Amino acid sequence: MRRKRAEKRPIEADPVYGNVLVTKLVNKVMQDGKKSKAQEIVYKSLEILKEKTGEEAMDALNKAVNNVRPLIEVRSRRIGGSTYQVPFEVAEERAISLALRWIVASARSKSGKPMVERLSNELLDAHKGTGASVKRKDDLHKMADANKAFAHYRW
């Protein structure tokens, strides 16, 4: 490595819930720098999630993200001309980032409804432990499990 690693910028908690996780979700939903529109979508989705689960919005969001968070992932390692999929543990920061990315991506992939409904439905599915984003986590875990024979290539 020639340069030093860029330092992490602190993320401010959002104004409504006072939580960093909501800010991260807003940033993932945001397109073309339209933050106020993204906040509107996320806050309405959290209200719908609160109504449907009967829990506090933050508790429901935390549970949804925890159900989607991957524990292990596979990374490609090139060893002696062959490429192996080597399982690695996922750092907490990356796990949360992946979870939010998958939730937003699966909400965007659906069509026919407004983004508020799609996001709230995906969060609700994640809260229940079902849905596309949870399936994605399970697929990643299966792949890591199938390739655990190459775990000794970790370093």
What would the pLDDT profile of 110-138 be if each residue is shown by its tens digit? Answer: 989 999 999 999 999 999 999 999 999 99
Rg of the chain's alpha carbons, rounded to an integer? 18
Q: Which residues contact 127 (CB under 8 A, 6 or more apart)?
A: 49, 53, 60, 63, 64, 67
Tell me the residue ranges of DSSP E strands in 80-143: 82-89
What's the mean pLDDT in 49-74? 93
pTM recorded for the entire structure: 0.91
Give every CB contact of residue 112 below 8 A, 6+ residues apart in sequence: none
Amino acid at 66: N
- Phi/psi at 27 (nearest 5 deg)? -65, -30
- As to burial, measured by CB atoms within 10 angstroms (0-12 exposed, 13-18 middle, 19+ buried), residue 127 is buried
Quote the tokens at residue 58.
């933050």
Q: Which domains does the chain have, with CATH numbers?
A: 38-58+69-153 (1.10.455.10)
Residue 121 near residue 54 (C-beta atoms within 8 A): no
Structure confidence by residue, pLDDT tens digits, 40-56? 999 999 999 999 999 99
Neighbours of 95 (CB within 10 A): 20
Q: CA 143, CA 123: separation in Å to the nearest integer?
A: 24
pLDDT exceeds cutoff 80 at 154: no
